[in-house]
Structure 1
């Protein structure tokens, strides 16, 4: 049963483990948490679940925070920001958990187990499909089968132990899920999960998760579908700790599926198909292996947010481009899918193209400047802004802008041979010289006036428009590509235009004569 206190402020948490780089599916989960709580005027909390000390990876927590800084998803409470319900790292909350472990032990809802890994392996080989539960716990070495004196003596001797939750069989556990509806699981299929380990004096994920959600007043637990099997155990823990009245609402999001075949999206799929599965580039501290990230590949954070929002949710309209504010307003769990969402990198590229095409020219120019600087190009902000306005419709990434616009900054050094054979005729040099003369006479070298004068000259001399203009483009650009021809010549100016025409006449004639 779920019974959030009416009118309580919505509080959600994103709770990753610092065991490596953050998977893009985790980013999608965090995004849905953010959209829901901001729509409700609530709080968005980052909690680091680092109780698994054996799997801790240096730098992983910093990577997580940097990811959300890049995405522009701001936490209201976090390890770095602090808050009323901290600490926000589970490793710093040891004493808090111990209190509730003892509470469960005192009321008989949990017990101490001393079984060694070897003893557990032996039992697994002895009993097919063995699990530690009501049917097997009496065969094991624990405080249910040992006397209180024996148990105390083992603890006093420093024998390592775990605490297991005691699941009573034959009880229906109901999980009310905002996406999947009512999910009923019989307790007989659950095992007595370990909730605490004496070796590091830390709880496992299950207990720490429930205790923290309760103490941090979390109202909604929004997480991936892979955590759905844990939900009945968490409900059981809430009930065992007599916290039913504060049990959060659950929402288990659909899995992100690989683009081809079946199964969950993995790093191996990204490596195989050539796309990142991490938001930022990650360098493994042990192997130095570098895994690519969406930021470093040139994706805009706005595009990634929009792309991820549509992996498992749709607004019920034809609209596909949403600002973060629009997503907050439109989001609802009623329109979340129960089935997995197939990952489509081409759609991610489409979103990136859309955001580049819609970005204000001045803003896009600022992103383009570092690339120009690398190429040794120095230009005015005004010119760069005009250039990107002409070519951004052809770009998927900022890096594409150079390929689409290099001719605005550098004269061609070579000419596309196929275009030369097709467009550069015997009479072309003479026509290009006439164009030079025509340009020299123009006082107004705006694109509009150029087009008017040149088209009139073509018409008066009964020339073929296609032949003239394609040869003109070849001379200025070096190949048959680019935006409107007179927009190019206006931006590079009359002197540079005529210089390129003269160079083409000389060089292409030489190529023709070889």
Structure 2
């Protein structure tokens, strides 16, 4: 048997990180077992589904690097297939037409609540041997309901949560087609999983209540049952469900915050799954180690600081040229022209171990490509009259210094000694004057990368 998994988001918004983790685990399980990973877009919610959301899903999947083997398949393009299956179910008696009005359903609900019972459809249109059905009302378009078993239990061995059993008496006869004939979510999913040969359905545990209904429909169709694995929810730091209002929840948020895609996947993999004490690992290692039996059934909390630490480790390990290409758009937003200044790849090599994300990397790199005056408070602290006079003297020294890091380091040390001061009284004013900040790497390395002409030009702006 070839393992076949699927990721099936609804295009009603941006790609959520919970969805990314689901996609990651489904993708990894297929890769681990030399299987097939299918991408399916469940776009039957016409009121909420948008082309923009479809594109956001495709772009998000491409950004994180989870390539699908088949698809994307779109449910709206499979309507003819659904209607064929509906007619087959109606013919064999596993589905039936229901003409119950909204007012009748509301009354059923009110009566059930008055009796202290769970509201449910009373199956008045369900055909039974010896039962007389109501007269078909004129001008009413019926829904199609699934004839759910009334006895026994639906049971499955969940790959994450273990054995789950739900009594059929808890399930009503689900609507599988609306009055206009369009099929509903639970029906489409069943037909899709059957047609696409999905062997393992890995999804969020908000779908647990859908699973017994889908199992019963698959059984009625005579279709094989996939293995189900329901992943626990991702909570925010306060233990609440992550919300668009409070939390960064889409991959767009994290790309804009300068998080590397491999770092986001690394962090999401650790939410609910583990391999010993390993925290930092590659996607290839994750695939090698991944097993559904190691997924925890308990919710996980999103820890931003831990994610940033993971991101920092991936930045340290990243190729400098790739990191430079990823950082360049952030520098552009800061008004920096990276063609005017030192090679960006050299700047990245100098700075990347000092930051946790690309936004901060761009901010720290900006002074190599744009000269901003030190803020007033910093200037008052480090660029007083005495400091400016000292920098003017040091500029004369630099003009005659060979421009490599060892020579610059030696020149700084000699100048500090000649001035009879400690290093900070030269280094801090120099950083403030050249970079507009005192938070920089070793000043000789900064001088070397800025270049002699640029350093002397920037020091010209400091009046003695």
TM-score in terms of structure 2 length: 0.89
* Alignment match of 1:172 (pick from 132, 153, 164): 153
> How do 1:265-414 and structure 2 match up within 5 A?
265-270=242-247, 276-280=248-252, 293-317=253-277, 319-373=278-332, 375=335, 377-379=337-339, 383-414=343-374
Match of 1:192 among 141, 166, 173: 173
Structure-2 separation of matches of 1:19 and 1:496: 51
Corresponding residue for residue 96 of structure 1: 81
Distance change in 2, residues 1:492/1:296 (3 Å)? closer
Provide the secondary structure at the position in 1 that maps to 2:246: helix
Counterpart in 2 of 1:480? 438
Question: Cα deviations across residues 251-273 of structure 1 (Å, max 9, x unaligned)?
Answer: 000011233143x2222332xxx
Greater mean deviation of Cα atoms: 224-233 or 12-21: 12-21
Contact 1:180 1:338 survives alignment (8 Å): yes
Query: Is the Cα–Cα contact under 8 Å of residues 316 and 335 in structure 1 kept in the other structure?
Result: no
In 2, the alpha carbon distance for the partners of 1:436 and 1:21 equals 53
Cα deviations by residue, 1:463-504 (Å, 9 ceiling, x for unpaired):
323323333333333332211000111122233333434432
Partners of 2:69 and 2:400 lie apart in 1 by: 65
Q: What CA deviation, in whole Å up to 9, does each residue of 1:213-234 have, x standing for no partner?
A: 1121110011100111121222
1:159 has 2:140 as partner: yes
**Could you tell me which residue of structure 2 aligns to residue 260 of structure 1?**
238
Describe the shift of the 1:265–1:211 C-alpha distance in structure 2 as closer, same or farther (beyond 3 A): same
CA apart distance, 1:178: 0.8
Q: Give 1:46 deviation, angstroms.
A: 1.4
Give secondary structure in 1 for the equivalent of 2:177: strand
Asked if the contact 2:153–2:168 (Cα under 8 Å) also holds between the matched residues in 1, the reply is yes
1 CA distance for matches of 2:47 and 2:368?
A: 56
Length-normalised TM-score, structure 1 = 0.81
- 2:336 and 2:366 in contact (8 A); partners too: no
SS of residue in 2 equivalent to 1:387: helix
Quick check: 1:411–1:477 contact (8 Å CA) kept in 2? yes
Measured in 2, the distance between the counterparts of 1:121 and 1:174 equals 31
Aligned partners of 2:17 and 2:249 also within 8 Å: yes
- Pick closer, same or farther for the CA change 1:378–1:225 going to 2, 3 Å: closer
Q: Is the 8 A contact 2:342 2:450 kept in 1?
A: no
2:53 alignment counterpart: 60
Counterpart in the other structure of 1:127: 112
- Distance, in Å, in 2 between the alignment partners of 1:145 and 1:259 is 56
| Structure 1 unmatched runs, 5+ | 1-7, 80-87, 271-275, 281-292, 510-514
Which residue matches 2:206? 226
> Which residue of structure 2 aligns with residue 435 of structure 1?
394
1:183 is aligned to 164
Length, aligned pairs only: 460
Question: Which blocks of at least 5 consecutive residues in structure 2 are unaligned?
Answer: none
Distance 1:247 1:459, change over 3 A: same
Which residue of structure 1 aligns with residue 225 of structure 2? Answer: 247
Deviations 1:63-104 (A, max 9, x none): 22222122221111114xxxxxxxx32223233233433443
CA drift of 1:434 comes to 3.6
Give distance in 1, aligned partners of 2:259 and 2:272.
Answer: 20
Q: Is the 8 A contact 1:419 1:480 kept in 2?
A: no
Structure 1 counterpart of 2:3, from 3, 6, 10: 10
2:27 corresponds to: 34
- CA displacement, residues 104-153 of structure 1 (integer Å, 9 cap, x when unaligned): 334443332110111100111122244436xx32xx345459978966x6
Distance in 1 between the 2:454 and 2:83 partners? Answer: 77
